[in-house]
Amino acid sequence: MLIMMVCLFIIAFSSCGGNQKGNNEDSQLHDWAKEYEELGGGLTLGLVNDYEPTENGVVYLDKISDTLNVQFANLTEHESEYILKVFYDYEEVSYAINGNDTLLNSYVFTAASKSSLIIPLTLDADLNFDDSHFLTIAVLTAPNKNAVDLDMMSNSYGMVGTYELTNKSGARRVNEKQTAQEPKEYLQIPFQGLMLNTDFKEKDDTQVFFPPKEIKVKGGEAIKLAYRVGNYENTDDVLFIVLVDWQQQRIDGKKPFIHLKNRPDYIGYGVIEMTAPLEKGKYDITGFVISGPFELRNAYNFNINDTCYRFTITVE
């Protein structure tokens, strides 16, 4: 049975590394699950190099093509299928699995109940890796199902974490920090995170409405969505990414993400536009938000990334 709703999310703040070449023994895999099993059901996510633990989300590498080990545990009561997506400085990138030469932009795998696994991956050696850069790992549930068919409205369908990759021969600094834009409006709503929906009313409210479970469109049609995002403490900016059918979207025709100023106690509101797929079928919309996206990771800002509520667009 596949599930989308998981009751506990844990991100590993200090994780044990694998063996030298990513060939991890069964005992290590089982220990990874047992480390958190007393906390109950849920998912865990970690990222380490081959040689040392990761602390507060900072991973040191000699070169960008060094092995990175994604640590994942399914502590729920059900076996589930997952998809792995990887973003470098918030743009989707391809990667190789288990030392293979073939580059992938998605990796689908199954994890049994109460089990864990380590997925060794390598990034493209041509990626710029001068000082610090940000790697976002997303492990999302039920990639071959659609929200409308599951009849669920949930923002708990996987785990997303953003790590700082630091070049051992460089410095811990960000050389290409971007300037955040103002949202269209700041609204006073008691909500934190990211909501994409079709509520285009620019008003303060006591609630944020769910999106429809299904939006029917024509192939290639422009899709307009309202976003409400933010209300994070101790950060000046937020960034969010939208996926359709597990592929990062170019928002408003060109942007791979939306980078906005954050005002504590307020939600940033605006409208984005994307293009529907050309082929008929069902496609799920998912997304996630990163607070302080260009801040060096530390004990105070290394957290799981909030995901928006998942829903389906049907191209007729």
Instruction: Give the DSSP letter string of 67-97.
Output: -EEEEEEE-SSS-EEEEEEEEETTEE--EEE
Report the pLDDT value the prediction gives residue 178, as an integer from 0 to 100: 85
Give the CATH number for residue 235. 2.60.40.10
Residue 304 has pLDDT above 60, yes or no: yes
Residue 127 has pLDDT above 90, yes or no: yes
Q: How many CA atoms lie within 13 A of 224 on its CB side?
A: 4
Number of domains, the chain:
2
Question: Is position 176 within any domain?
Answer: no
78 and 131 part of one domain: yes
Residue 12 has pLDDT above 70, yes or no: no
pLDDT in tens, 28-41: 333 445 555 555 56
51 and 196 part of one domain: no
User: What confidence tier does 26 reach under pLDDT thresholds 50, 70, 90?
Assistant: very low
* CA distance linking residue 78 with residue 302, whole number of Å: 28
143 and 215 part of one domain: no
Report the pLDDT value the prediction gives residue 163, as an integer from 0 to 100: 98
Question: Is position 99 within any domain?
Answer: yes
Residue 155 has pLDDT above 70, yes or no: yes
Question: Is position 248 within any domain?
Answer: yes
Question: Is position 78 within any domain?
Answer: yes
Residue 15 has pLDDT above 60, yes or no: no
Hey, how many other C-beta atoms are within 10 angstroms of the C-beta on 93?
17
88 and 159 part of one domain: yes
Residue 17 has pLDDT above 50, yes or no: no
Question: Is position 269 within any domain?
Answer: yes
DSSP 180: P
* CA distance linking residue 250 with residue 268, whole number of Å: 20
Residue 151 has pLDDT above 60, yes or no: yes
User: What confidence tier does 152 reach under pLDDT thresholds 50, 70, 90?
Assistant: confident
Of the residues 167, 202, 222, the one at which a domain ends: 167
pTM above 0.75, yes or no: yes
Nearest to 298 by CA among 14, 46, 87: 14
Instruction: Write out the residue range of the structural domain in which residue 234 sits.
Output: 185-315
228 and 283 part of one domain: yes
Report the pLDDT value the prediction gives residue 24, as an integer from 0 to 100: 40
193 and 147 part of one domain: no
Question: Is position 159 within any domain?
Answer: yes
Nearest to 251 by CA among 227, 228, 231, 218: 227
Question: Is position 63 within any domain?
Answer: yes
273 and 303 part of one domain: yes
* CA distance linking residue 133 with residue 105, whole number of Å: 19
137 and 13 part of one domain: yes
Phi-psi region of 37 (alpha: psi -120 to 50; beta: other; left: phi over 0): alpha
- Compute CA distances 174 → 58, 136, 177, 302, whole Å: 13, 16, 6, 16
Question: Is position 82 within any domain?
Answer: yes
Out of 14-28, 73-87, 104-118, 245-259, which region has the weakest mean confidence (pLDDT)? 14-28
User: What confidence tier does 99 reach under pLDDT thresholds 50, 70, 90?
Assistant: confident
User: Residue with structure tokens 């059900």?
Assistant: 78
44 and 158 part of one domain: yes
**Which whole number is the average pLDDT over 193-214?**
96
23 and 130 part of one domain: yes
Mean pLDDT over the full length of the chain? 88
User: What confidence tier does 177 reach under pLDDT thresholds 50, 70, 90?
Assistant: confident
pLDDT in tens, 205-222: 999 999 999 999 999 999
User: Residue with structure tokens 């507060």?
Assistant: 56
144 and 292 part of one domain: no
Of the residues 140, 167, 194, the one at which a domain ends: 167
Q: Are strands 214-217 and 311-315 parallel, antiparallel or unpaired?
A: parallel
